[in-house]
């Protein structure tokens, strides 16, 4: 069940880079709705994407450092030895599964589902979910705390300041349609 910090989720780069998805994932983790995990590979990819999108290198480093400071136990280490023994449709994603295996994660959260075959991941005791499915599951299991986390996200949102409905619109635009609709129904 997704209901506490005992539930461990490895976050793939494609759910960390879009700020709207990352913010909601991080606020839910801050409220102990789950435990986030990532690898140096994921953060290297995140840094590369930020730089390609126009974020300067110093700012990219600052953002990754802040994430690691906010969640000091999130960084998975000593998973490299597992990578070569894994086989995924895109071999460049094996580091994500290796990190998930190493930290005994329950799920990999990615919007790249096609490269993480459910049956193969199940053989390691790992599930895979899109960010939208993962977040709606979390909301479903603890609506009150999820709304509290969402409202905290809104209050702390800067550049630009947005109200709840503007944040919900951005979540929809980022592909979190079911999540935004669920939150909208609860606010």
Residues 6 or more apart whose Cβ sits within 8 Å of residue 52: none
The tens digit of pLDDT for each residue in 6-17 reads 799 999 999 999
Q: How far is CA 51 from CA 29, 63, 67, 106, in A?
A: 26, 12, 17, 31
Which domains can be identified in the chain, with CATH numbers?
Answer: 8-186 (3.40.50.1010)
CA angle 70, 57, 130 (to 5 degrees): 55
Question: Quick one: pLDDT band at residue 1, thresholds 50, 70, 90?
Answer: very low
Q: How far is CA 178 from CA 28, 78, 91, in A?
A: 16, 36, 30
Q: Which of 138, 157, 183 is nearest to 5 (CA)?
A: 138
What's the whole-model pTM score? 0.94
The tens digit of pLDDT for each residue in 32-49 reads 999 999 999 999 999 999
User: Is the CB of residue 129 less than 8 Å from the CB of residue 137?
Assistant: yes
Q: Round to whole Å and give the CA distance between 133 and 111.
A: 10
With tokens 């996200």, the residue in question is 153
Tokens of 99: 């990190």
pLDDT at residue 2, as a whole number = 47
Question: Quick one: pLDDT band at residue 160, thresholds 50, 70, 90?
Answer: confident
CB-count burial class (<10 Å; 0-12, 13-18, 19+) for 115: middle
The tens digit of pLDDT for each residue in 51-95 reads 999 999 999 999 999 999 999 999 999 999 999 999 999 999 999
**What is the arithmetic mean of pLDDT over 165-175?**
96
Task: Lowest mean pLDDT of 4-8, 116-120, 161-165, name the range.
Answer: 4-8
**What is the arithmetic mean of pLDDT over 112-137?**
97
């Amino acid at each position: 069940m997704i209901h506490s910090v005992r539930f461990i989720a490895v976050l793939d780069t494609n759910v960390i880079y879009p700020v709207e998805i990352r913010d909601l994932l991080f606020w839910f983790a801050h409220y102990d709705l789950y435990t986030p995990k990532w690898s140096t590979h994921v953060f290297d990819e995140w840094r590369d994407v930020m730089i390609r999108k126009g974020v300067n290198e110093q700012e990219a480093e600052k953002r990754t450092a802040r994430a690691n400071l906010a969640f000091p136990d999130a960084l998975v280490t000593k998973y490299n030895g597992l990578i070569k023994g894994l086989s995924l449709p895109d071999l460049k994603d094996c580091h994500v599964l290796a990190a998930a295996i190493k930290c005994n994660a329950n799920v990999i959260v990615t919007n790249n589902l096609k490269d993480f075959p459910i049956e193969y991941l199940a053989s390691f005791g790992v599930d895979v979910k899109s960010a939208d499915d993962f977040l709606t599951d979390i909301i479903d299991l603890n609506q009150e705390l999820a709304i509290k986390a969402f409202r905290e996200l809104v209050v702390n949102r800067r550049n630009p300041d947005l109200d709840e409905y503007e944040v919900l619109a951005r979540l929809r635009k980022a592909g979190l349609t079911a999540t935004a609709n669920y939150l909208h129904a609860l606010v």
